């Protein structure tokens, strides 16, 4: 049965073309995936990445990620066809996946998310770039992000984030919301059955950091606090110094949905920014389980 998503407030969504799209793109910055153009080597690279990462994540990833992989058939051979993938995903949570030429402007990114549309790069890294790539590719975007969009609570959180992003642009508060995205959607941890698990796409798609985040004693693993997260800078050039841990996707969605962000942004403007390695007296640090 097709899921009907909650309708976003159209007044919050900039008109298509608010930022001119590059040549060859539609006004909303989408492009054809052109799935038939992928080479045999590119499909083989996807298969190699998926096989390697599935083994690493077997006991490390959130259960919702594993369920999403199976229900969306993302571990099947070859780079997924976005049209077929969107059919399966839309039937579960109303989300779709569309191709874009690369990183898109903030208002375009948020606009798509507010309409339950996930933008993904169509290119895949070369075989000599398996361990690190600066710009997100189809493996990061689809393998890392899309499985959790099949979870109803996380799917709602992501749409709410897109709508919140459009508001933050108007309030000049984007840096605070970017930190929330970084420490949840990209590098978040969740506690399941007393153990810490990975749900952030930056971790799920990283061979090295997916192991570091749950094995190395050096990073802080801090119980999630919205204001604390939005005060904290992050690293883009190295493994994270701190990870924030949620109790459930329902709890994450509720905490953000029930918050009035405008006064929060005003309070944050008067607070000192925290460096990634900072530990506050009020922080609740969570230990790893013995098995990890």
**Predicted confidence (pLDDT) at residue 6 exceeds the cutoff of 70:** no
Say what the pLDDT of residue 290 is.
Answer: 57
Q: Is 145 a catalytic residue?
A: yes
Which CATH number is correct for 28-269, 3.40.50.300, 1.10.800.10, 3.30.1300.10, 1.10.645.10?
1.10.800.10
Are the beta carbons of 197 and 252 closer than 8 angstroms? no
Cα 37 to Cα 22: distance, rounded to the nearest angstrom: 21
Q: Which listed residue (145, 209, 210, 242) is catalytic?
A: 145
pLDDT, greater one: 2 or 236: 236
Confidence band of 18 (pLDDT split at 50, 70, 90): low
**Predicted confidence (pLDDT) at residue 201 exceeds the cutoff of 70:** yes
Q: Is 205 a catalytic residue?
A: yes
Neighbours of 223 (CB within 10 A): 14
**Predicted confidence (pLDDT) at residue 3 exceeds the cutoff of 70:** no
Q: Which listed residue (42, 86, 112, 140) is catalytic?
A: 140
pLDDT, greater one: 180 or 136: 180
Confidence band of 100 (pLDDT split at 50, 70, 90): very high
Burial 67-89 (b: 16+ CB within 10 A, else e): ebbeebebeeeebbebeebbeeb
Say what the pLDDT of residue 10 is.
Answer: 40
Q: Which listed residue (86, 150, 205, 242) is catalytic?
A: 205
| The dihedral sign for the CA sequence 249, 250, 253, 255 | negative
**Predicted confidence (pLDDT) at residue 51 exceeds the cutoff of 90:** yes
Q: Which listed residue (42, 107, 186, 209) is catalytic?
A: 186
What residues does each domain of the chain span? 28-269
Instruction: Report the range of poorest mean pLDDT among 17-21, 121-125, 197-201.
Output: 17-21
Q: How big is the CA angle at 229 (ends 105 and 264), to the nearest 5 degrees? A: 80
Say what the pLDDT of residue 275 is.
Answer: 97
Q: Is 43 a catalytic residue?
A: no
pLDDT, greater one: 11 or 88: 88
């Amino acid at each position: 049965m097709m899921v009907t998503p909650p309708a976003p407030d159209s007044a919050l969504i900039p008109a298509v073309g608010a930022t001119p799209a590059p040549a060859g793109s539609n006004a909303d910055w989408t492009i054809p995936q052109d799935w038939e153009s992928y080479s045999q080597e590119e499909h083989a690279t996807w298969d190699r990445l998926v096989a390697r990462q599935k083994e690493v994540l077997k006991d490390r990833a959130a259960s919702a990620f594993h369920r999403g992989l199976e229900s969306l058939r993302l571990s099947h051979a070859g780079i997924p066809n976005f049209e077929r993938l969107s059919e399966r995903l839309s039937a579960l949570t109303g989300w779709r996946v569309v191709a874009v030429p690369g990183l898109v402007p903030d208002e375009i990114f948020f606009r798509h998310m507010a309409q339950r549309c996930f933008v993904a790069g169509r290119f895949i890294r070369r075989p000599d770039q398996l361990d690190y790539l600066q710009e997100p590719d189809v493996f990061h975007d689809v393998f890392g992000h899309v499985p959790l969009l099949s979870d109803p609570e996380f799917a709602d959180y992501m749409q709410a984030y897109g709508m919140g992003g459009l508001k933050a642009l108007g309030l000049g508060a984007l840096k605070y919301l970017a930190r929330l995205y970084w420490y949840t959607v990209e590098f978040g941890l969740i506690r399941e059955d007393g153990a810490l698990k990975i749900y952030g796409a930056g971790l799920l798609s990283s061979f090295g950091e997916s192991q570091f985040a749950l094995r190395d004693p050096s990073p802080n693993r801090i119980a999630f606090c919205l204001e604390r997260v939005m005060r904290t800078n992050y690293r883009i050039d190295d493994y994270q110094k701190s990870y924030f841990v949620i109790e459930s996707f329902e709890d994450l969605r509720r905490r953000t949905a029930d918050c009035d962000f405008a006064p929060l942004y005003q309070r944050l403007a008067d607070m000192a920014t925290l460096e990634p390695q900072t530990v506050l007296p009020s922080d609740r640090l969570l230990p790893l389980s013995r098995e990890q």
